Amino acid sequence: MCGIYAQFGNFKLNDALECLKRLEYRGYDSFGISYNNNEVRRRVGRIKLFNEEENYDAIRAICHTRWATNGEVSLINAHPQSSSDGKVVLVHNGILENEQIIKDTFFKNHIFKSSTDSEVIAELLALFLKDKSPFKAILDVMDIIKGSYAILFMIKDDNNIYFMKNKSSLLIGYNTDSYFMSSDIYALPSECKYYKHLADKSYGRIGTDVYLSDESRFLDFNFKYDILNNTDVMLKEIYEEEMLAANLEKCGNKFSKEIVNMIKSANEFIIVGSGSSFYAGEYVGNMCEDILKKRAKAFLPTELRNTQLYNNPVYLIISQSGETADLINAVEHIPKDKCILFTNRKNSSLANMIKNSIDIMAGIEVAVASTKSFNQTILVAYLLFMEVIGEKAEELDYYIEGIKKIKNNFRMNIPKLLARMDKVFYIGQGYDYIISKEGALKLKEIAYIPTEGYSISELKHGSLALIDTKTAVIGLSSSKNYMLAALNEVKSRYGNIFYLQSPDKGKYLGSLVLARYVQLIAYYTSKERGLDPDHPRNLAKSVTVI
């Protein structure tokens, strides 16, 4: 997944790079900018602004921040990518599925400079531009290339910026004298007045002579964002959870009658999400069965199959970003009028696809590891289900008090020990088991420690063979269970054990309070190991490629 941004008007290079920085959650392996008549600057690593002598005036520019999916992290693979004749310079977010076929068909004797699929697209455009108009070349390229893409490119001695789009997010915005294009609404500058999401298979240009194949109407740009400072972002977002939960309580009923009626009339539920959203989906599924007394099952989007076995299901789609590619692909194959989206992004691709969307009201989440959005998704689902059955959501106050207690009583001895471990296991039962899996994911992604989450009884079915002095097992408990017996088995085999009890005994949200423990453990363990928990290696905030 990558972030792309374009600007046409009168501006400085750093103006464009400042907007690009808001897309860095999509990838920070390398970045680059091409401006004016195809001049190119590229660098490996995080986005840095140019010094005063290099901050040139520009009238057009395309920018890219990369998360490597095709080709290693290197300067030669950084974007923008150029055609060998220098005619085309291009930035691309997506995956080219028929790269080798195109090479074999059009470029048998050509030597490519990079390992990227994007360079192939640049060469293909340059080839067609030898005897075709820009739009004819674009249409021919779109007929040939397969996969997901949002592409911005410039042509030597042509003052416009051209684009084509399919299955990867791309927005356009403008004001009285400038045009902007971006992977995400975050990057559109505050001076933008109007914007819209571009439809799949759309193409066009911005510049001296604007053309858009997508004729849908523009919306007023009134999006407000407040990107946090670049230090300790994850910790700040964890500590926002009390305030966000209290805001849900203050806002009261925010669910439409249509959504409430969909939940009431459903026979059963299919829940779909990826990563932390999948674990949130498992938690929501348990609440569906416990509160609504209706069958529910959570699926990963790539494993969504045999849904014909379900009787009139409602699909609960969970996506923090609203841009996850495999989730978008799954939603394309299910009835949209049977879907309810839980998202943190009401201006996202999934929100445009699904009419019935619920804002989880987590605010912008910048850190790669999801924390507050995981909790908010579950809280919003709990409030919805309690409204459906006509009962007061009394556990919300207990949840807020519980996570406050964990914040005030958190013990640093746990991350200090975990930082020296070779492997870690979380164990739990019921809802606690789901938090165990989420805790394992957090520790893997930001502390780089092999970690798994298990149901209490399952540790001894094979994985107990891995226990040694460099192993830690953390028991999570929000109720009476057989936790101590399982931990004693680990201790007798010289493993290191911890027992974490939820201060909240709530039936539905008591386990969610434990999410505060696993989030803080992951954060501080990462710090103990000298790592950057806000920018873990190889990962990006949302995955927009399949």
CATH code of the domain in which 242 resides: 3.40.50.10490
Domain assignment of residue 153, yes or no: yes
Q: How confident is the model at residue 332 (pLDDT cuts 50, 70, 90)?
A: confident
Mean pLDDT of 67-88: 92
163, 270: one domain: no
Q: Is the pLDDT of residue 546 over 70?
A: no
Tens-place pLDDT, residues 118-130: 999 999 999 999 9
307, 442: one domain: no
Q: Is the pLDDT of residue 325 over 50?
A: yes
The total of structural domains in the chain comes to: 3
Q: 153-190 burial, b if ≥16 CB within 10 A, otherwise e?
A: bbbeebebbbbbbbbbbbbbbbeeebbbbbbbbbbbbe
Domain assignment of residue 174, yes or no: yes
340, 212: one domain: no
108, 184: one domain: yes
- Tokens matching residue 107: 């470029």
Mean pLDDT of 181-190: 92
Q: 211-234 burial, b if ≥16 CB within 10 A, otherwise e?
A: ebbbeeeeeebeeeeeebeeebbb
Q: What percent of the chain stands above pLDDT 70?
A: 96
Q: How confident is the model at residue 228 (pLDDT cuts 50, 70, 90)?
A: very low
183, 38: one domain: yes
153, 234: one domain: no
Q: What percent of the chain stands above pLDDT 90?
A: 73
C-alpha distances (whole Å) from 242 to each of 215, 362, 477 are 43, 11, 21
When comparing pLDDT for 369 and 434, which is higher?
434
Query: Which of these three, 188, 220, 252, is where a domain ends?
Result: 220
Q: How confident is the model at residue 226 (pLDDT cuts 50, 70, 90)?
A: low
Domain assignment of residue 507, yes or no: yes
Range with the poorest average pLDDT among 26-40, 191-205, 447-461: 447-461
175, 312: one domain: no
Mean pLDDT of 491-516: 90
Tens-place pLDDT, residues 143-166: 999 988 999 999 999 999 999 999
Spatial strand order in the sheet of 496-501: 451-455, 423-428, 471-477, 496-501
207, 267: one domain: no
Query: Which of these three, 153, 188, 220, is where a domain ends?
Result: 220
Q: How confident is the model at residue 491 (pLDDT cuts 50, 70, 90)?
A: confident
Predicted confidence at residue 352, as pLDDT, reads 85
149, 211: one domain: yes
Mean pLDDT of 261-265: 95
Predicted confidence at residue 341, as pLDDT, reads 96
Tens-place pLDDT, residues 93-105: 998 999 999 999 9
Query: Which of these three, 393, 417, 433, is where a domain ends?
Result: 393
Q: What is the rounded average pLDDT for all residues in the chain?
A: 91
Q: Return the DSSP state at 291.
A: I
411, 277: one domain: no
For residue 30, give the CATH number of its domain. Answer: 3.60.20.10
Smallest CA-to-CA distance from 159 within 131, 184, 179, 138 is with: 179
85, 165: one domain: yes
What residue has token string 């490629």?
A: 545
Note if 87 is an active site residue: no
User: How far apart, in Å, do the first and last CA atoms of the chain sit?
Assistant: 9
Domain assignment of residue 399, yes or no: no
Q: Is the pLDDT of residue 543 over 60?
A: yes
Mean pLDDT of 471-496: 83
Q: Where in the sequence is the domain holding 70, given as residue range(s)?
A: 3-220
Of the listed 87, 165, 167, 541, which one is catalytic? 541
